[in-house]
Structure 1
Amino acid sequence: MRAAHRHGLSAQIEARSTDGKIRNDVLVSGSAGHIGWEAQYSPITASTVRRRSTAAADRGIMPLWVTNDDRAALIDRAPWVRVDDLPWRAIASDRAMLVRGGVRHLQDWACTPAAQRPCPLNGSSCGGLHVAWSLPALCLPPKPHTGVDALVAASAEGDFVPMKIPAQHNPRASARLWAPAADRDRWRNIIGEDEALPDAEPPMQASLTFTEEDLDSTCRYGEDTRVFDDRRPRRDHADTSGLHTFPEVPQRIFRIPRQPQRLNVSPEQRAEASRRCGCRIWQIGPCAGCGTPIHRYGSGSAHACADCRRRAR
């Protein structure tokens, strides 16, 4: 509430939809629409998350689930974020609360030997283009963490948007995240399609099994055993999400599209261009925009000359 009012947004506590069937913990309204914040610190099933999220979306409300549990069933089944497990006094105070999971930034890089990242496929380099979503601290260069207060305003104003990122080779498996709108636009430009795909298959209900072991009836309350009987799989990971790999950079993302250029220069002119660009002779090639000899191939090369890149900005 405080964060919404601080940014001049409308916010309602325990807000109900017009038909009374949907109730949000906090409903924040901005230029991008209505964001229904749901603080879910207690266990909830995946089917309940899907049902309530669908009902909210049908009424023009974008759900935003908040959890402090990296094993929560709501993760990747609806728009979500994860925060630290803080005592209520810290939550109610003016202390900044950071988003620890559910907000990611787009990272794309050419997989060459000179790349700052190893190839996610073979650990070396594959010569392709990798596109993935990373946590802010794992971006290159690192990006600042998003605060909950900042996300309240950014989500309602459309600066951060919910996304569903399908796996490249299994479209029915997907990750949910919040991302800057600019990253969403670049993702669509690279992938060449909208990220909206069919929902993942509902998980199969786990069957009950019996180990035939004696039940331990000893009360462990107060003991510092550090043993946690939580067999749920961890759903929030630091690994990159939505990795897509292309054998080469897609033509559609070039601001200066590749054109059939040929380098018609003499050996002397090629040698002079090599000295001017500070590269080897075999690394000289035509600018994709104007055909001027430039450092086109190898480490540190460019797709187009500086003049063409400036004009494309």
Structure 2
Amino acid sequence: SAETVDVDLLRERFSSFSKDLSVRGFENPTGSGIEIEMSNNEALEIASEKLFALEASEKDLISAELNASYFAEQAKNDSSLASQAYAAQQSADAMRAKVYSDAKDLLALIGSSAALPSDVHGAVKLARDEFTAAKGRYREQLLVVVKQVAPNAAVSLREVGSVLSQFFFIKTREFVLYSFILSAIVVLIVFRSLGPSFAVIFGAATDVIVTLGAMSLFAIPLNLATVATLLMLIGFSLDTDMLLTIRVLKRSEDSPAARAFDAFKTGAMMNVTSVVAFGILAIFGMLLQIEVYYTIGLVAVIGSIVDLFATWCANAAIVLWWVERKKN
């Protein structure tokens, strides 16, 4: 925004919406702006979780209704299936009553006075629509506050719900786990020996774990951008670890220590160029207030520095020890 914005007034107006509130101004070559971070509305967060559960229950209800319909048709031709048809219908009716009750509770939670239709699926649709409308009204309230303080400001809203966050973190763990498993398989195929393979995977794991610790220390959030960067760091770490291990194990000229030092010169230059390149990205992201660029650059810089020490202080020692052990 080109206009001057009263940050203190903005903070005061938004304090009624959230206790966990951060309002800060910034300036960069493209202009100035205000960044507001606040926790989501508690009632809407609870409603979001209930809606997620309600939609899952509706899917189960549809399956139960299809099951009851199937047994009802079969029982017309085979009386021995009458008890199963009755049990299936009872189960569907009980589930239908629960879904209807949950839809009613959701409307009460978001303060909606809309009348539920008698059809349970229509009730779920109404609950979903009313929840969307309630979220829209809440967003409008936030925009009104901004426009009162800064009438000419351009506003951008971004929200991450708890359900999405839970799904994201579950998938993140899976992606990292799969990447390590596949990497371990490839490394075992290449070296066909547990010692060097362990050294390579140990270096990659150390890189990720220490980088995650640094992210926690510097309050860098774990989001899609940083997860992608961590996966990229696994590839970087495997590059330098494989370079060292192959150079020491597969070649025969000079001593193992000399071959390791020769690999160090190449690997260290790879780390330095990564630090410089991603450092520039982080600086531009900070100056232009582009959070994705900043976090990717910063995490990559941290990871590259960690990889330098993990590879040449830990992995190199393991590989050289393995070579000496094989000789003896």
TM-score in same-fold range (> 0.5) = no
Indicate the structure with greater strand content: 1
Give the TM interval when normalised to the shorter protein: under 0.3
Structure number with bigger Rg: 2
Higher relative contact order (CA 8 A, sep 6+): 2
